[in-house]
């Protein structure tokens, strides 16, 4: 019996869609609260307007560039096999919907962030107002500024979960049992756009940041956001297009892709119930995210701003777990035999309680989020030993700072990977002898992690908003003394929240990829049955002892290294151009240093924009075409091994890059707070070098690995039936496979070659 959307399930999905709309309504209320705050002085408004203009211009150009790529993929999806024309058309249509929703999430997040940062700076100014104005208690000022920044993040969080859940509900309501196939397109659209926004925004922001630090701090000895530095506006623009827009799109696509995997596996494992329950869990997360966001209200007894944020996060997680327990025992049947629409006898005859399986699987995801939050915080907070050790190493120079940061990143990657691995295996064990149930439990763990996404996005956006607020305050010169200290403390908390959210985003990506891996296995089985092939065929088996599969595994790991190297190298090239441009302006306009001349901020913004957009194509082609190359050359078995290698290596690499960068950044903050000689000391210069190394680690290459893994998994899932068909279902298949493989190889080699040919900057840009 084929699962259908029953009347009861349809009503549930409609209610869930209403919850998604409620999230968007709450986002609108939060927007009004944020924008009601004061914007500060005329100077602060002028700087904020320049940042807004640069961010809007960059993102508009980026979306036009990516739009061309999206149109090409739309038509390519129409060529891939599907059960019927409706599925094929729906998959392509919702690919565009996923792409538009992902872009909208990033754009809205960025647009509000660039309007909020000046309000956070203005709130901090109340601690040290102009002469004749009364000063307020710095603690109260800090609490107010933090609330504005976090509520800004709350808007982005509500939009992320609202649009993600609404999009999936629409597909389920329209396509019912065919929804999982159509959702493959929705997830791919979200993942592709997120990857482009992550890579492009990451290159922009870190090129400007590295260039600004190397010339301003190290060579000229001026503060980080000194208005005399021509790269400061570009640096602030980059924080918004990279961190705000990029992370919002990244977590949106994690949301969409995890739900795709859960619904694909849920249809097979839980039948009718599997088309609704995976949506109930994130719907609960939407409600608890609202509670968590409003619960982040600082108190005088809090040790730091992280205490208030942790309170909101854990409150949201605990309430989510309780409500999921209620939903599991109210909605799901007590035995597997009662699962309507399931045809697998191994599931129907399974002993145990499906309600308990669902609850424990979701609990694993929620607990995993909490553990990663604490683990990442340990390795990146300024009050913890790892960051303090990096600060101590600054007394012996930049080399030891770099070594200490790399060591901490490598070590933290092991612990995080172990946590994620234990979570995946723990969920897998819940399925017992049924591999389908086990994989569905992994997907449900992913949906459990999704219950925290609303608060997680709020935490992440809090970081760049606080960073930009400090930049605007320093450039304007209107926030000093206690007010400046408030912003410094908020920025340090923001660095930690950004590192934490990157860790949880990585965990979400791995759980989604693992669940999609299970979906890939089912797609192969169906395609093999349709083609009449033998399961023992060399190219079908995923036995790792086979040479073709071992090669696939190695290639999957290699792609992660190549992707990371290309991203970091792109930042290096662009940062070099920024360095030469900023040096040129200081050299040719000596009046900049005594404020008699104004830097040409627009030239640096233009350099970063052009470089970021030029570097977008190669990572995108690498993500889409490498699975095609491996699959059509070595078969679906090797393609499965390719995905396994990418997931394993990507997990370790992403955590290593994110935590090293976060630790270096906060070690710099530690020294700037007065430790080891404070600003201007040799120790400070050493930590600045460490921070510039860590910038492309934590904000470009590391975060971009998340969407890379999901794009490759989704592409593999979509092309698996075609590979099997051309391998066993047609006489002309060998020629078609060879043609596709050769074309993919030529495009990949050409894209990488073109990227490597781009020269490093050697002279100032005219």
List pLDDT tens digits, range 141-198.
Answer: 888 888 898 898 889 889 988 998 898 888 888 887 677 778 888 888 888 888 888 8
Q: Following CA atoms 634, 638, 639, 644 in sequence, which dihedral angle do they give, to the nearest 10 degrees?
A: -160
pLDDT at 78: 84
pLDDT at 550: 92
**Top-confidence residue, 80 or 649:** 649
Structure tokens at 567: 């991203």
| Per-residue DSSP letter, 596 | S
Q: How confident is the model at residue 220 (pLDDT cuts 50, 70, 90)?
A: confident
Tokens 């669940």 locate to 515
> Is residue 410 helix, strand or coil?
helix
Q: Nearest 5°: phi and psi at 394?
A: -65, -20
Q: In this predicted structure, which of 63-77, 89-103, 157-171 has the lowest mean pLDDT?
A: 63-77
pLDDT at 452: 83
Environment class of 560 (CB within 10 Å of its CB; exposed 0-12, middle 13-18, buried 19+): buried
Q: Which residues of 685-712 are buried (b: 16+ CB within 10 A; e: fewer)?
A: bbbbbbbbbbbbbbbbbbbbbbbbbbbb
pLDDT at 117: 86
Distances (CA, A) of 64 to 93, 308, 605: 19, 40, 18
pLDDT at 533: 54
Rounded Cα distance between 177 and 311, Å, is 40
List pLDDT tens digits, range 522-543.
Answer: 777 777 776 665 544 556 677 7
pLDDT at 38: 87
What is the percentage of the chain residues whose pLDDT exceeds 90? 22
> Does pLDDT of 67 surpass 60?
yes
Distances (CA, A) of 351 to 277, 345, 425, 484: 20, 12, 20, 62
pLDDT at 181: 78
> Does pLDDT of 356 surpass 50?
yes
Q: In this predicted structure, which of 337-341, 445-449, 550-554 has the lowest mean pLDDT?
A: 337-341
pLDDT at 699: 83
pLDDT at 764: 46
Q: Provide mean pLDDT across the span 377-398.
A: 88
Q: Provide mean pLDDT across the span 601-628.
A: 85
Neighbours of 435 (CB within 10 A): 16
pLDDT at 2: 43
Q: Provide mean pLDDT across the span 18-26.
A: 94
Q: Identify which of 46-55, 228-237, 509-518, 682-691 has the greatest average pLDDT.
A: 682-691
Q: Provide mean pLDDT across the span 668-691.
A: 85
Structure tokens at 145: 């500024």
Q: How confident is the model at residue 653 (pLDDT cuts 50, 70, 90)?
A: very high
pLDDT at 685: 86
∠ CA 534-536-541, nearest 5°, is: 115
pLDDT at 208: 84
Tokens 């509000």 locate to 112
pLDDT at 642: 94
pLDDT at 539: 62
pLDDT at 132: 65
Rounded Cα distance between 574 and 569, Å, is 9
Q: How confident is the model at residue 488 (pLDDT cuts 50, 70, 90)?
A: confident
Question: What DSSP line would sit under 145-192, residue for residue?
Answer: HHHHHHHHHHHHHHHHHHHHHHHHHHHHHHHGGGHHHHHHHHHHHHHH
Q: Using an 8 Å Cβ cutoff, are 601 and 478 in contact?
A: no
| Per-residue DSSP letter, 698 | I
Structure tokens at 610: 């052009």
pLDDT at 762: 59
pLDDT at 5: 64
Q: In this predicted structure, which of 198-207, 443-452, 738-747 has the lowest mean pLDDT?
A: 198-207
Q: Provide mean pLDDT across the span 579-592.
A: 88
List pLDDT tens digits, range 427-439.
Answer: 989 887 788 888 8
Q: Provide mean pLDDT across the span 458-470.
A: 84
Rounded Cα distance between 515 and 441, Å, is 9
Q: Provide mean pLDDT across the span 304-312.
A: 84
Q: In this predicted structure, which of 44-48, 427-431, 757-761 has the lowest mean pLDDT?
A: 757-761
Q: Is the dihedral of CA 77, 82, 84, 90 positive or negative?
A: negative
Q: How confident is the model at residue 551 (pLDDT cuts 50, 70, 90)?
A: very high
List pLDDT tens digits, range 252-274.
Answer: 877 777 887 788 888 888 888 88
Q: How confident is the model at residue 114 (pLDDT cuts 50, 70, 90)?
A: confident
> Does pLDDT of 749 surpass 90?
yes
> Does pLDDT of 562 surpass 70?
yes
> Does pLDDT of 124 surpass 80?
yes
Q: Provide mean pLDDT across the span 554-564.
A: 94
Q: How confident is the model at residue 404 (pLDDT cuts 50, 70, 90)?
A: very high
Nearest C-alpha neighbor of 123 from the set 542, 465, 573: 465
List pLDDT tens digits, range 709-719.
Answer: 888 988 888 88
pLDDT at 20: 93
> Does pLDDT of 389 surpass 90?
yes
């Amino acid at each position: 019996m084929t699962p259908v959307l029953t009347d009861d399930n349809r009503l549930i999905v409609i209610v869930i869609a209403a919850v998604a709309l409620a999230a968007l309504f709450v986002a609108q209320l939060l927007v009004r609260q944020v924008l009601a705050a004061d914007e500060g002085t005329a100077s602060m408004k002028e700087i904020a307007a320049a940042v807004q203009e640069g961010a809007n211009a960059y993102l508009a150009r980026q979306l036009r560039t990516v739009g061309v790529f999206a149109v090409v993929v739309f038509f390519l999806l129409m060529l891939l096999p599907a059960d019927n024309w409706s599925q094929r058309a729906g998959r392509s249509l919702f690919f565009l919907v996923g792409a538009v929703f992902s872009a909208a999430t990033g754009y809205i997040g960025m647009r509000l962030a660039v309007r909020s940062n000046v309000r956070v700076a203005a709130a901090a100014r109340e601690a040290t107002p102009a002469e004749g104005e009364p000063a307020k208690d710095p603690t109260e000022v800090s609490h107010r500024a933090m609330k504005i920044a976090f509520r800004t993040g709350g808007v982005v969080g509500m939009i992320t979960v609202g649009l993600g859940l609404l999009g999936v509900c629409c597909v389920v309501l329209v396509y019912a049992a065919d929804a999982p196939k159509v959702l493959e397109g929705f997830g791919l659209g979200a993942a592709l756009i997120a990857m482009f926004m992550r890579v492009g925004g990451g290159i922009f922001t870190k090129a400007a940041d590295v260039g600004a630090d190397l010339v301003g701090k190290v060579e000229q000895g001026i503060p980080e956001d000194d208005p005399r530095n021509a790269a400061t506006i570009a640096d602030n623009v980059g924080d918004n297009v990279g961190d705000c827009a990029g992370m919002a799109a990244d977590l949106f696509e994690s949301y969409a892709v995890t739900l795709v995997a859960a619904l694909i596996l849920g249809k097979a494992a839980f039948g009718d119930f599997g088309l609704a329950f995976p949506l109930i869990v994130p719907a609960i997360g939407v409600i608890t995210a609202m509670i968590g966001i409003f619960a982040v209200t600082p108190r005088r007894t809090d040790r730091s701003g992280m205490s208030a944020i942790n309170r909101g996060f854990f409150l949201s997680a605990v309430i989510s777990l309780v409500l999921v327990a209620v939903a599991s025992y109210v909605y799901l049947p007590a035995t597997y035999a009662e699962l309507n629409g399931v045809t697998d006898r191994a599931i129907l005859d399974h002993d145990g309680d499906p309600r308990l399986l669902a609850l424990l699987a979701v609990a694993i995801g929620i607990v995993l989020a909490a553990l990663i939050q604490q683990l990442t915080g340990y390795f990146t907070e300024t009050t913890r030993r790892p960051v303090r050790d990096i600060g101590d190493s600054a007394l012996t120079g930049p080399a030891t700072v770099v070594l200490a940061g790399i060591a901490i990143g490598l070590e933290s990657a092991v612990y995080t990977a172990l946590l994620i691995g234990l979570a995946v295996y723990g969920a897998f064990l819940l399925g017992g002898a049924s591999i389908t149930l086990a994989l569905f439990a992994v997907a449900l763990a992913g949906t459990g992690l999704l219950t925290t996404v609303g608060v997680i996005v709020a935490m992440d956006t809090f970081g760049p908003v606080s960073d930009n607020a400090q930049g605007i305050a320093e450039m304007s010169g209107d926030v000093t003394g206690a007010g400046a200290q408030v912003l410094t403390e908020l920025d340090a908390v923001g660095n930690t929240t950004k590192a934490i959210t990157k860790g949880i985003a990585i965990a979400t990506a791995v759980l989604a990829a693992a669940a999609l891996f299970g979906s890939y296995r089912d797609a192969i089985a169906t395609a093999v049955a349709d083609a009449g092939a033998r399961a023992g065929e060399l190219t079908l088996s995923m036995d790792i002892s086979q040479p073709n599969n071992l090669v696939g595994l190695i290639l999957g790991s290699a792609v992660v290294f190549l992707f990371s190297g290309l991203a970091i190298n792109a930042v290096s090239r662009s940062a070099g151009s920024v360095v030469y441009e900023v040096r040129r302006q200081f050299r040719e306009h000596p009046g900049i240093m005594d404020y008699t001349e104004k830097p040409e901020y627009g030239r640096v913004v233009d350099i970063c924009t052009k470089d970021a957009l030029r570097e977008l194509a190669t990572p995108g082609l690498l993500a889409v075409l490498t699975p095609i190359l491996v699959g059509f050359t070595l078969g679906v078995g090797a393609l499965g091994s390719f995905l396994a290698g990418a997931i394993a290596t990507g997990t370790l690499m992403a955590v290593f890059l994110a935590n090293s960068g976060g630790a270096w950044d906060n070690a710099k903050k530690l020294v700037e707070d007065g430790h080891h000689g404070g600003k201007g000391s040799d120790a400070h210069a050493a930590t600045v070098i460490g921070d510039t190394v860590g910038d492309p680690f934590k904000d470009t290459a590391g975060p971009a690995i998340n969407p890379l893994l999901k794009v490759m998994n989704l592409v593999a899932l979509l092309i698996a039936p075609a590979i099997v068909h051309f391998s066993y279902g047609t006489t002309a298949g060998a020629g078609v496979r060879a043609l596709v493989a050769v074309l993919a190889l030529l495009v990949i080699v050409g894209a990488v070659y073109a990227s490597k040919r781009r020269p490093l900057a050697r002279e100032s840009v005219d």
